Structure 1
Amino acid sequence: MSEPLLALENVTVRHLNRVLFSNLTFRLEPGQHWALVGESGSGKSALLTTLAGQLTITGGRATYSQLDALAQERAAATHDPLFTWRRLVSLVPARPSFRTLANTTDIYYQQRFNATDTDSVPTVEDYLRAVPLAAAAPHWTYERVATLLRLTHLQAQRLIKLSNGETRRLLLAAALLRNPALLLLDMPLTGLDAQSRAAFDELLAAIMASGITVIMATSPHEVPAGITHVAVLQAGRVAATVEKAGFHPDQLTAAGLPTLDETELRALLALTPPPQFQTIVRLDDVTISYGNKTVLDHINWEVKPGERWALTGPNGAGKSTLLSLLNGDNPQAYRQRITLFDRRRGSGESIWDIKRQIGFVSPELFQYFPARQSCLHIIESGFYETLGLLRPSQPDKAAIARRWLRLLGLEEHAATPFRQVATSVQRLCLLARALVRNPPLYLFDEPCQGLDAQQQQHFRHVLDRICQVSNVTLIYVSHYPHEIPQSVTQVLRLEQGRRVEG
């Protein structure tokens, strides 16, 4: 038997004061490419982080035979005696962490909409040019990754202005520029439109053909063609491993859906009856540009109370910019003919007059949301529409937040710091934060990202029941038609900033 690239034998993996894995065994042989599947919170992201050498391994035995040998070759070629196997591993996480040009982490959510504040944020080219090369004669060059991942036209764009799908492509480009031997991808298809997902198999084939080994966390129904083996994770353990040809996703045992307490749902909605309006949204010939780039081009649209809309279109079509106009975040709204909740923008209303009428979730909000507070406090902050609880907790509001946690099956995480729970729990907490005030309008931008099939189904059921028993207005963005709730009956489609039919 040949030496493995790496092997973990009965190891214990810890993070902070928690044990993530006990008696973990995983072996990666040359020529293998793995998919990690399992329910949200089963340990897929933790296993990727472990393989990247970013978590503490105790007990058992961890070896990196072929990675160590290749690291010695690279050290000699680059004249870098400190070159280790860790530099041969690139991890593309589910939640990126960008830094300013001053090398701080002071990037905040509203910064993406304030032109004077974005100058401190690197451009796409700045970010990629700063990636240290790990090979003397790299296969993956700047020009190659920019072309292959369709970033050439975005080189001058500030990172904070990228769409969610564009950000995913950028992170993969940066990982490839390191010319790794092992590429670890955490849900790489998340946030990609149908065209980008269809092209992913071809991209992955090119990556594998260049000699890179791939391990990726993914949905069991989205295992790419180049994958050779599948590991099924359950509750922090590798429950099964199988060659891809023998993997059948429909045979996975799924947890049953939580029972929705409809009496409690109605009671929560009755606590704060929303105000009544004649018009929720009206856009009259709205055009938004940044420099020479037109993001929205002469958009006309009206949304009446109780209507449920799907907002669709490819990555970069202008969907997130349109939502930022409705949510009060984009200052260009003042120069446009926009009516929100029966009031013309710029007629004396404050941003908080707008935000208190909206429950909002987006990938960008998730990316820049501060994560040190407890899950309960994160949800309670929804009463004030602040990014985290910036005032003392109020017992009555905390009690309501806890009831929403219970309704969504999250009560056990109430006291846990937001940053320590699984990505899926974080996303569900932000959904609960949007629901907690029972606002008249929901703006949900890809709200099911990071949720497993059962969590998605439960959330859609909750949302459909809310729509059935209330007059809430919904604007829902998703690249997956099956994620769109049944209550949605109308569609606005954007392409290259324009409204199109179909």
Structure 2
Amino acid sequence: MHSVFARRYAVLTRQFSSATCRWSNLIEFKQANIHRFGVKEPAFRNLSLTIADHERLVIVGPVSAGKSTLAEALAGKHLAQPLASAKWPMIDVSKSPYPSDHVHLVSFKEDSNAFSYSNHYYQERFNFSDPDNDVTLQDYLQSQSRDQQKIQQVAELLDIAPLLKLSFVKLSNGQTRRARIARALLRDPSMLILDEPLMGLDVDHRKRLLSILGELTTKSGVPVVLVLRPQDEFPSWATDVLELDNMAIAWQGKVDEYLARRQTIMEKELAERKAYLAQAREQDTSHRDPVVQLKNVNVIYSGNKILDNISWDVRQGEKWALLGPNGSGKTTLLSFLTGDHPQAYANELYLFGRRRGTGESIWEIKERVGLVSPEIHLYFNQSMTALEAAGTGFYDVVVPRTLTSEQTGVVQKLFNEFGINGLLSRKLNTMSTGEQRMVLLVRSLVCWRRC
């Protein structure tokens, strides 16, 4: 079904212009020093990279390798020096001389004027009432296009049409990602760059998105560049791979060559994982006290059941993976464990041996639970430093608080253990998404260190 919608979308979008097709190269960097705005030292030094019009590039690499920074540079969001070292032969300067008006980057940070998480709070998504400043998914998409037919078709293409009337703040992580991609498609980009688009999507929607992007790039001629994590599926339509490490190009070549290299690494990791799981299975946790007990838990919004008679025990020493498609209720279920969901009081729920609603405060629960998630990530002020952001874990807030010398020492020690000392004084808005996630992982662990 989605291929039909993809073909309709290809008709709706303006085709890759004849002016573009005259060029064999779309983007050219030659010995370029890439500077983040406001930062004196270059993020990339002597970067040389050419993207040809027949290439469909995938960028890979570990956290802090420079993937997001390179994606932003390709979209013209960073300063290249000397100026002549970066060129975009693909753009039609008669329409706009700015690359960012032609190359659309979907980074999954909310950078539109249509919605701001600063006007909301994290627990709001679990409440019944809608906020006074509510923005629906329909509003969010209409901020980019007033063509209702096109909005409907793109929404159907990305499987978010049933959500159009829903408050944007209440979308799941995967639904929010698909909404941002939809908004990008409504912009009719000349090139589309997606930074880790598969994170947060369930298996079916990952396959669907890759298929949609394949049809977009082959049928409507829009070049697509993907930034992927090492564990992500590779699109069948990709032609080239660029591997980054430590803010430099570590390897560059064809997809088949890269997949052969990656297969060897994956086989080694799989053997290590099997050995770990075999050891874990030998541990008997049945005699240990439960940390979490949910008994026939139900959550209902406007007559719709989000959770239906869920019973679940988590005992000390157990390690769980919670799986399910986007919108299936995973985050809602976890919100019972973190004390964030108001319907916890209407259900039978025990945390750390005590039933909810028997006089304990929400802060007594939160000081014993570390949380890191894509959803809470969105609510952090990007002007905070890594030290400030990680330090909020001592108070379970998303705004900076004054830290004691002991608390600062705990954060610094954790940063050192994770090998990210260089991030301590940097602001979140100068980091990649992966680097920010590492900071928030430290935030989730400060309670454990303190306790």
Scaled by the length of structure 1, the TM-score of the pair is 0.73
Q: Which amino acid aligns with 1:37?
A: V
Query: Which is strand-richer, 1 or 2?
Result: 1
Task: Give ranges in structure 2 of 5+ residues lacking alignment.
Answer: 1-21, 270-287
Mapped pair 1:422 → 2:437: no
Query: SS of the counterpart of 1:382?
Result: helix
- Alignment-derived partner of residue 287 in structure 1: 298
Measured after TM superposition, the shift of residue 132 of structure 1 is 4.0
2:76–2:99 Cα contact (<8 Å) kept: no
Q: Which amino acid aligns with 1:201?
A: L
For residues 85 and 418 of structure 1, do their structure 2 counterparts lie closer, same or farther at Cα, with a shift above 3 Å needed?
closer
What is the rounded CA distance, in whole Å, between the counterparts of 1:373 and 1:128 in structure 2? 29
1:99–1:107 Cα contact (<8 Å) kept: no
Task: Give ranges in structure 1 of 5+ residues lacking alignment.
Answer: 76-81, 258-276, 442-502
How do 1:257-276 and structure 2 match up within 5 A? none
For residues 303 and 22 of structure 1, do their structure 2 counterparts lie closer, same or farther at Cα, with a shift above 3 Å needed?
closer
Q: Which piece of structure 1 moves more, 378-387 or 44-53?
A: 378-387
Query: SS of the counterpart of 1:312?
Result: coil
**Deviations for 1:168-226, whole angstroms, at most 9, x for unmatched residues?**
11111111111111000101111111222232332122211222100111135532111
Mapped pair 1:397 → 2:410: no
What is the rounded CA distance, in whole Å, between the counterparts of 1:250 and 1:242 in structure 2? 11
What is the rounded CA distance, in whole Å, between the counterparts of 1:396 and 1:163 in structure 2? 36
2:103–2:193 Cα contact (<8 Å) kept: yes
1:37–1:231 Cα contact (<8 Å) kept: yes
Measured after TM superposition, the shift of residue 363 of structure 1 is 1.1
- Alignment-derived partner of residue 110 in structure 1: 123
For residues 313 and 124 of structure 1, do their structure 2 counterparts lie closer, same or farther at Cα, with a shift above 3 Å needed?
same
1:100–1:120 Cα contact (<8 Å) kept: no
Q: Which amino acid aligns with 1:63?
A: K
For residues 253 and 382 of structure 1, do their structure 2 counterparts lie closer, same or farther at Cα, with a shift above 3 Å needed?
farther
**Deviations for 1:30-59, whole angstroms, at most 9, x for unmatched residues?**
232111122221211111111212222220
- Alignment-derived partner of residue 377 in structure 1: 388
Query: SS of the counterpart of 2:415?
Result: helix
What is the rounded CA distance, in whole Å, between the counterparts of 2:114 and 2:127 in structure 1? 15
Aligned counterpart for 1:91 among listed residues 105, 110, 117: 105
Measured after TM superposition, the shift of residue 423 of structure 1 is 2.7
Aligned counterpart for 1:43 among listed residues 66, 69, 75: 66
Measured after TM superposition, the shift of residue 126 of structure 1 is 1.0
- Alignment-derived partner of residue 128 in structure 1: 141
For residues 57 and 283 of structure 1, do their structure 2 counterparts lie closer, same or farther at Cα, with a shift above 3 Å needed?
same
2:28–2:88 Cα contact (<8 Å) kept: yes
- Alignment-derived partner of residue 56 in structure 1: 79
Measured after TM superposition, the shift of residue 368 of structure 1 is 1.7
- Alignment-derived partner of residue 462 in structure 1: none
Aligned residues: 404
For residues 324 and 251 of structure 1, do their structure 2 counterparts lie closer, same or farther at Cα, with a shift above 3 Å needed?
closer
- Alignment-derived partner of residue 332 in structure 2: 321
Query: SS of the counterpart of 2:91?
Result: helix
**Deviations for 1:239-273, whole angstroms, at most 9, x for unmatched residues?**
4432334334626999xx9xxxxxxxxxxxxxxxx
1:377–1:398 Cα contact (<8 Å) kept: no
What is the rounded CA distance, in whole Å, between the counterparts of 1:396 and 1:216 in structure 2? 42
Mapped pair 1:180 → 2:198: no
Query: SS of the counterpart of 1:438?
Result: helix
Query: SS of the counterpart of 2:46?
Result: strand
Mapped pair 1:27 → 2:50: yes
What is the rounded CA distance, in whole Å, between the counterparts of 2:150 and 2:391 in structure 1? 46
**Deviations for 1:322-378, whole angstroms, at most 9, x for unmatched residues?**
111221112122222222223222222221011112111111111222233332333
- Alignment-derived partner of residue 8 in structure 1: 29
1:118–1:158 Cα contact (<8 Å) kept: no
Q: Which amino acid aligns with 2:433?
A: T
1:33–1:213 Cα contact (<8 Å) kept: yes
Query: SS of the counterpart of 2:447?
Result: coil
Mapped pair 1:360 → 2:371: yes
What is the rounded CA distance, in whole Å, between the counterparts of 2:249 and 2:74 in structure 1? 14
How do 1:302-321 and structure 2 match up within 5 A? 302-321=313-332
For residues 61 and 67 of structure 1, do their structure 2 counterparts lie closer, same or farther at Cα, with a shift above 3 Å needed?
same
1:36–1:218 Cα contact (<8 Å) kept: yes
**Deviations for 1:430-488, whole angstroms, at most 9, x for unmatched residues?**
222222222899xxxxxxxxxxxxxxxxxxxxxxxxxxxxxxxxxxxxxxxxxxxxxxx
What is the rounded CA distance, in whole Å, between the counterparts of 1:40 and 1:367 in structure 2? 19
2:114–2:143 Cα contact (<8 Å) kept: no
- Alignment-derived partner of residue 67 in structure 1: 91
Q: Which amino acid aligns with 1:149?
A: L
- Alignment-derived partner of residue 5 in structure 2: none
Measured after TM superposition, the shift of residue 84 of structure 1 is 5.8
2:392–2:398 Cα contact (<8 Å) kept: yes
Mapped pair 1:243 → 2:254: yes
Q: Which amino acid aligns with 1:169?
A: R
Q: Which amino acid aligns with 2:122?
A: Y
Aligned counterpart for 1:231 among listed residues 229, 242, 245: 242
What is the rounded CA distance, in whole Å, between the counterparts of 2:234 and 2:29 in structure 1? 24
What is the rounded CA distance, in whole Å, between the counterparts of 2:378 and 2:419 in structure 1? 23
Measured after TM superposition, the shift of residue 227 of structure 1 is 1.0
RMSD after superposition: 3.0
What is the rounded CA distance, in whole Å, between the counterparts of 1:440 and 1:144 in structure 2? 51
**Deviations for 1:378-420, whole angstroms, at most 9, x for unmatched residues?**
3332222222432x22011211222222222223322333332
What is the rounded CA distance, in whole Å, between the counterparts of 1:282 and 1:248 in structure 2? 43
What is the rounded CA distance, in whole Å, between the counterparts of 2:203 and 2:174 in structure 1? 11
Q: Which amino acid aligns with 1:322?
A: L
What is the rounded CA distance, in whole Å, between the counterparts of 2:380 and 2:117 in structure 1? 16
2:292–2:312 Cα contact (<8 Å) kept: yes
2:58–2:227 Cα contact (<8 Å) kept: yes
Q: Which amino acid aligns with 2:447?
A: R
For residues 19 and 108 of structure 1, do their structure 2 counterparts lie closer, same or farther at Cα, with a shift above 3 Å needed?
farther
What is the rounded CA distance, in whole Å, between the counterparts of 1:402 and 1:66 in structure 2? 46
Aligned counterpart for 1:165 among listed residues 174, 199, 213: 174
- Alignment-derived partner of residue 480 in structure 1: none
Measured after TM superposition, the shift of residue 150 of structure 1 is 0.5
For residues 309 and 238 of structure 1, do their structure 2 counterparts lie closer, same or farther at Cα, with a shift above 3 Å needed?
closer
Query: SS of the counterpart of 1:247?
Result: helix
Scaled by the length of structure 2, the TM-score of the pair is 0.81
**Deviations for 1:98-121, whole angstroms, at most 9, x for unmatched residues?**
6666x7842332332334453423
What is the rounded CA distance, in whole Å, between the counterparts of 2:302 and 2:112 in structure 1? 23
- Percentage of pairs with the same residue: 33
Q: Which amino acid aligns with 1:193?
A: D
